[in-house]
A and B are shown apart, each in its own frame.
Chain A
């Protein structure tokens, strides 16, 4: 019998050790007190309000924020968070019609605004039609993008066309638009009024849109079918209508549901 080489002797424990580390790493995310955290999938624009809400109400929540459409697509592919909260009403209603979530609750409203750097010379939506202005909007699939197209569509044809010609990027979520603005990659971006409130420290300013152009931005939430914790999900959504959640939404600049 051959003597094992020093390499073999050293290498032997590597495999079991690495498997143990992998098992540990995965296990760490789990429960400490035998209770799973509430899993919340919410629109990017809700990040500030929902994070504060969970902190203040002491809810052990695992929240992920992304484009509402992307989260809906994940649910359609079989991902089951406990709560789904979208930046519009139609996505949750669509999912409800497909039997994937409970009856949605409209819990907040928002307005669309033009975000610009503080020192910008842009004063109104009309200025966005000037040649050379760089604009960021949402992709057509994400609510902020479809609202923006709705707003621009209400403008006179040539003005709408000039604004669309100035669009340089179609971001998959509202966070991307804000990032492009704070980095001065663009001169203006169509975002929610609440996003500008959240990014005030980063030097952004909001330009309000005339009421006649304003789309009805309603936020809908629902309990996902097959949720691990439907009871916690219902309580979370109730708290959005009154209590800590409603307070946090108000502070972040959201309006009460219409």
Chain B
């Protein structure tokens, strides 16, 4: 019995070690290949800074949209039951399983100049394709489900009695949502936010197809890495390493924020 238990324990540890090695080796290799000096000097190139700044701005804009619209929507899905609930949930999660190229094509078919709403957008004077705003649209499309899914689960797990108590004490539902549900679901919301942010920062295919690639306007860090891949591998590697460091720092700070007792809202 104990021998079997030991064996099983060993199996678990072995699998974890294998997973860790497989997932971390490529990332480690990047840092082994790039001397730290190159890393810093690659940041000094104006194009790299432009791309980094653009990635930061567009992903933050996408996150803002996702939080403002996604949080109440996820609250509704997490706390109400109605006919077609699982259909709606599945539809919202659908972009999770779409390949980025499909997301790009779908966005063009919907919002491109020849797309479903292309004429309407043009009449309204809204330009998305090949514009920075188009990058935000692409990022929002691919990243939103990561947040909404987690947020829905987090809201569903909030103790109903707590929400009811707030309401019997005279709070409106809106107040209960803001004061009780959001803080109680805080950890889940921030975890979802971290995932969505990570996905947005790494977005490549949908951005390229829908928004194109132009330095300073639509060339985010992943696109800049791709365009350097052929010209200068070291510089592509350096920029990749920078993206890893920046993403890791962002994700870590979001996670820490989620654990903080001061948390009053998502981010």
Residues of chain A having any CB pair with chain B under 8 Å? 1, 67, 69-70, 72-73, 76-77, 134, 136, 139-142, 167-172, 176, 179-180, 183-186
Chain B contacts with A in 198-228, Cβ cutoff 8 A: 208-209, 212-215, 217-219, 226-228
Q: Does A169 contact B212, Cβ atoms closer than 8 Å?
A: yes
Q: Which among A1, A67, A140, A141 has the highest number of chain B CB atoms within 10 Å?
A: A141
The interface residues of chain B lying within 8 Å CB-to-CB of A139 are 213, 227
Q: Does A185 contact B212, Cβ atoms closer than 8 Å?
A: yes
Residues of chain B having any CB pair with chain A under 8 Å? 1, 108, 112-114, 129-130, 208-209, 212-215, 217-219, 226-231, 233
User: Given B129, B208, B229, which contacts A73 in the complex, CB threshold below 8 Å?
Assistant: B229
The interface residues of chain A lying within 8 Å CB-to-CB of B230 are 67, 69-70, 72-73, 141-142
The interface residues of chain A lying within 8 Å CB-to-CB of B129 are 183, 185
Q: Does B209 contact A168, Cβ atoms closer than 8 Å?
A: no
Q: Does B130 contact A169, Cβ atoms closer than 8 Å?
A: yes
Per the bound structure, the CA–CA distance linking A226 and B161 in Å amounts to 69
Q: Does B130 contact A172, Cβ atoms closer than 8 Å?
A: no
Q: Which residue of A lies closest to B215 (CB)?
A: A170
Q: Can you show 14 pairs from A to B with CB atoms below 8 A apart?
A: A69-B231, A70-B229, A76-B233, A169-B213, A169-B218, A170-B219, A170-B227, A171-B208, A171-B213, A172-B213, A176-B212, A184-B113, A185-B212, A186-B130
Q: Does B113 contact A171, Cβ atoms closer than 8 Å?
A: no
The interface residues of chain B lying within 8 Å CB-to-CB of A183 are 108, 112-114, 129
Q: Which are the 4 A-B pairs with shortest beta-carbon distances? A: A169-B212, A69-B230, A184-B113, A141-B230
User: Given B108, B112, B114, B212, which contacts A171 in the complex, CB threshold below 8 Å?
Assistant: B212
* Apart from the given pairs A185-B108, A186-B130, 20 other A-B contacts in the complex at a CB distance below 8 Å: A69-B230, A69-B231, A70-B229, A73-B229, A73-B233, A136-B212, A141-B231, A142-B230, A169-B130, A169-B218, A170-B215, A170-B227, A171-B212, A171-B213, A179-B209, A183-B113, A184-B113, A185-B113, A185-B130, A185-B212
The interface residues of chain B lying within 8 Å CB-to-CB of A170 are 212-215, 219, 227
Q: Which residue of A lies closest to B114 (CB)?
A: A184
Per the bound structure, the CA–CA distance linking A167 and B112 in Å amounts to 18
Per the bound structure, the CA–CA distance linking A169 and B212 in Å amounts to 5
On whether A168 and B130 interact (CB within 8 A), knowing A73-B233, A76-B233, A141-B231, the answer reads yes
Q: Does B233 contact A168, Cβ atoms closer than 8 Å?
A: no
Q: Does A172 contact B226, Cβ atoms closer than 8 Å?
A: yes
Q: Which residue of A lies closest to B118 (CB)?
A: A184
Per the bound structure, the CA–CA distance linking A155 and B209 in Å amounts to 30
Per the bound structure, the CA–CA distance linking A173 and B181 in Å amounts to 48
Q: Which residue of B lies closest to A177 (CB)?
A: B212
Q: How far is the CB of B220 from chain A (nearest CB, A)?
A: 13
Q: Which residue of A lies closest to B227 (CB)?
A: A139
Q: How far is the CB of A225 from chain B (nearest CB, A)?
A: 19
Q: How far is the CB of B214 from chain A (nearest CB, A)?
A: 5
